[in-house]
Structure 1
């Protein structure tokens, strides 16, 4: 497992735009006073993740840089929201790392086909844009396995990212605590965190108790639900968006009140987003599996006693 960005062979990695050899330098610009370089670095950071929530080979090493930026005083001394953005990135890495029970199967396959993966990557890095497209379509499925390997690297890194994210749950800034809660909610789905779930859920519940807005509270409740926590106390909250996020928790499957909340939103999914007014819905809804939550087309998901029509789906079981 990688544990130091300086030990990474960046020239062997790629992202959405191609080879990633310049990624460390471009992310270093996030600490720069050069506005143009900063904007380029910030844009580049998000190119290291696939839009559908999957990892590129460069994602895990980039996450190591990002988690280091969290405590670097040179990061946005006049803009505290930049650290919030780094935590959102770590949340997204946690989503990419959430392999469920597939991690052992992926690891075995990656190890068995390691020479083929190296050869495919060599060809990909040496190819022009058209050649890269052909490699994705070469019928060998090696490109998909390279992405599975990238997700496995994020999976292996998740415990380190979780450990270094936890202190931010105690931030003096409410929004920082909220973004840290979201990151913890995805990173702690790693199997190694299972014995610590009661402690982590207690910490997240404390964050929910100090939330300063419906957005902060709803975001934290989604994180609690991600880890199998009980969000039942918030099902009767006066804010509709908070009730909706509380009802998504898998542990509430079969709860009459939670199912009724989801059914109300399923009849008109856009009402859920409208509940937050001028503010965007909780940050988790920018990423899988929630990014289509407000789609107008119906979709059916199972609940106790029947199905709920609409675009509201419960969270995956932890």
Structure 2
């Protein structure tokens, strides 16, 4: 059965709070906080069980946008160094008309790009709170929700503050992968395991081509001969990779960066 993609449900939120390339706008962090706070609200969409799934996928994408890693300190220093200028630029941007706002992004001061860096930094600082909200959904009774939560954990737990949690989270995700009920869920979880530096080698020989391809994408398998042979399949024929999932959409991570270009 084809999983219901969460994007139609969250399309408006997606398009207005995330840049086309999946990076942050100034509105991204406040929106992500609201999404996380509403995630467990029983009054939100009681007749649409896919809505929390969509919210978890949104938080996955925010985690990707927030993945500054060790570069966060350098971004923070640049933002703080020009904090007064940034406030003035933002005030001017809010009061300008559409043409004026468009010109400001290319005004030669570099402040527009720094505003976007500041937006990514705000997401980075929010990630620990988002991760806390997502973790309980790994135990959901709904298989699709567990899978969406795994994807979100795969991006959010890359944050430096989660380094001590990662071994336990990887054990949890690996157990979920072994118990996955569909190739779609398994492939999605394997990408999350790879994001966190886990070992996906046991699935390089899986009978399903899409599962093998997702296992081979783990950054930790760079240089692995078996993984390289598997990667030649999806890398050389994205269409074949997509078609390996039959009437199902490819794993949700392929709908956005860093993997979207592989099947675009």
Could you say which residue in structure 1 is the equivalent of 2:164? 195
Unmatched 5+ stretches in structure 1: 1-38, 296-318
Could you say which residue in structure 2 is the equivalent of 1:130? 99
Could you say which residue in structure 1 is the equivalent of 2:109? 140
Secondary structure of 1:293's aligned partner:
helix
Q: Pick the aligned partner of 2:235 from 266, 286, 310.
A: 266
Confirm or deny that 1:93 pairs with 2:28.
no
State the TM-score, normalizing by the size of structure 2.
0.94
Give how far 1:257 is off: 1.1
Q: Go from structure 1 to structure 2 and tell me whether the alpha carbon gap of 1:268 and 1:150 turns closer, same or farther (over 3 Å shift).
A: same
Contact 1:218 1:245 in 2 (8 A): yes
Could you say which residue in structure 2 is the equivalent of 1:31? none
CA distance in 2, matches of 1:88, 1:216: 13
Give how far 1:264 is off: 2.4
CA distance in 2, matches of 1:42, 1:288: 16
Q: Which has the higher Rg, Structure 1 or Structure 2? A: 1
Q: Pick the aligned partner of 1:82 from 45, 51, 76.
A: 51
Contact 2:10 2:54 in 1 (8 A): no
Q: Go from structure 1 to structure 2 and tell me whether the alpha carbon gap of 1:162 and 1:246 turns closer, same or farther (over 3 Å shift).
A: same
State the TM-score, normalizing by the size of structure 1.
0.78
Could you say which residue in structure 1 is the equivalent of 2:223? 254
Q: Go from structure 1 to structure 2 and tell me whether the alpha carbon gap of 1:45 and 1:289 turns closer, same or farther (over 3 Å shift).
A: closer
**CA offsets 1:155-211 (integer angstroms, 9 cap, x no match):** 001011001100000000000000000000000010011111110101111221222
Q: Pick the aligned partner of 2:154 from 169, 185, 188.
A: 185
Could you say which residue in structure 1 is the equivalent of 2:129? 160
Q: Go from structure 1 to structure 2 and tell me whether the alpha carbon gap of 1:41 and 1:222 turns closer, same or farther (over 3 Å shift).
A: closer
Could you say which residue in structure 2 is the equivalent of 1:121? 90
Secondary structure of 2:165's aligned partner:
helix
Count of aligned positions: 257
CA distance in 1, matches of 2:9, 2:99: 25
- Which aligned runs of 4 or more in structure 1 are off by greater than 4 angstroms? 39-42
Confirm or deny that 1:221 pairs with 2:190.
yes
Contact 1:181 1:220 in 2 (8 A): yes
Unmatched 5+ stretches in structure 2: 1-7
Contact 1:95 1:187 in 2 (8 A): yes
Q: CA RMSD in A?
A: 1.5
Secondary structure of 1:204's aligned partner:
helix
Shifted more, 221-230 versus 261-270: the winner is 261-270
